[in-house]
Amino acid sequence: MPVPVTGAASPRRLIRDEVFLRLLDAIVGGDLLPGEQLYDAEIERWVGVSRTPVREALNQLAAMGLVEILPQRRTRVTPIEPERLRQLIATVGVLVAGVVRDATPLLTDSDKELLRTAGDDTDAASVVRSGLTAEGFLGVFVRRLDNGTVARLLKRHLPEVQRALNASPPTAAFDKARPSVTALIDAAVAGKAEKAGRAATQLFDPALVAVADAFAALPKKELR
């Protein structure tokens, strides 16, 4: 397991949270690849902690579907399974559409400016990948809605979608998704909540479902 080269854990965070966030970033960002074996001792040396917080972090990631723990056998990054990914994208899309629709009437002028900026990138893959992060256009709607339950659900399930988007090469799937992003942002800035919600639905299904289809077309070894 070639762990990323970073500094020791920050004393300002709880140790278990630090380990979790380091591993989450590495998995979602692609430093730790699907199917890659995870060894407690290597993670302990990487983050500079004991075994207990490492196990806690791995169990938390397993609950999110990002890590697979087989007792007394192995712990690994969960392989990307195209059919599961398709279903997850569609499910998360329903949740995101509701967030976008309900948050649109609450957007401030500052929020709308952030949305416009989020859609400016000319690279379709970059717009989609960055948009579905806390710093991207989705984060604007989540913060403005300020619903703790919804935010927790997205934090649990969205990283698995983000991981697949980051792992996918910038193919036509992203080009298909770009118009839905533009439609979503334009409708939200105009205050058209229902239209923005419909655009969010289209972004996930069918546009992002095409990403899962692209994974399904790859040789099996490339998915693990």
Alpha helix positions (H), 31-121 = 40-47, 51-63, 82-103, 109-118
The answer to whether the beta carbons of residues 46 and 22 sit under 8 Å apart is yes
Q: What is the pTM of this model?
A: 0.86
Distance from C-alpha of 208 to C-alpha of 130, rounded to nearest angstrom: 14
The ranges of the chain annotated as CATH 1.20.120.530 are 82-223
Q: Name the one residue in this structure whose structure tokens are 């697949």.
A: 164
* Cα separation, 220 vs 75, whole angstroms: 20
The 10 Å CB-count burial string (b at 16+, else e) for 56-73 is bbbebbeebbbbbeeeee
The mean predicted confidence, pLDDT, of the chain is 89
pLDDT, position 210? 87
CA–CA separation, 89 and 191 (whole Å): 26
pLDDT digits over 139-175, tens only?
Answer: 999 999 999 999 999 999 999 999 999 988 877 888 8
pLDDT category of residue 190 using cuts at 50, 70 and 90? very high
pLDDT band at residue 71 under the 50/70/90 scheme: confident
Give the rounded percent of residues in the chain with a pLDDT score beyond 90.
Answer: 71
pLDDT at residue 4 in the model = 60
Q: What is the mean pLDDT of residues 66-85?
A: 91
Q: Are 111 and 70 in contact (CB under 8 A)?
A: no
Return the biggest CA–CA distance within the chain.
56
> What digits encode the pLDDT tens for the residues 98-140?
999 999 999 999 999 999 998 887 788 899 999 999 999 999 9
Per-residue pLDDT, 76:
96
Contacts of 91 (CB under 8 A, 6+ apart): 157
Is the confidence at residue 70, as pLDDT, over 90?
Answer: no
CATH topology of domain 15-77: Arc Repressor Mutant, subunit A (1.10.10)
C-alpha to C-alpha distances, 114 to 109, 139, 203, nearest whole angstrom = 9, 10, 19
CATH 1.10.10.10 residue window(s) in the chain: 15-77
Task: Give ∠ CA 27-30-36 in degrees, rounded to 5.
Answer: 65
What backbone torsions phi and psi does residue 95 show, to the nearest 5 degrees?
Answer: -65, -45
Does 95 score more than 50 pLDDT?
Answer: yes
Is a pLDDT exceeding 70 seen at residue 29? yes
Tokens of 97: 């559409």
- pLDDT score at 170: 77
- The H-assigned helical ranges of the chain are 15-29, 40-47, 51-63, 82-103, 109-118, 124-131, 137-145, 148-167, 172-189, 193-202, 209-217
Q: Identify the architecture of domain 82-223 in CATH.
A: Up-down Bundle (1.20)
Which pLDDT tens digit goes with each residue over 193-211? Answer: 999 999 999 999 999 998 7
What pLDDT, on a 0 to 100 scale, did the predictor assign at position 12? 47
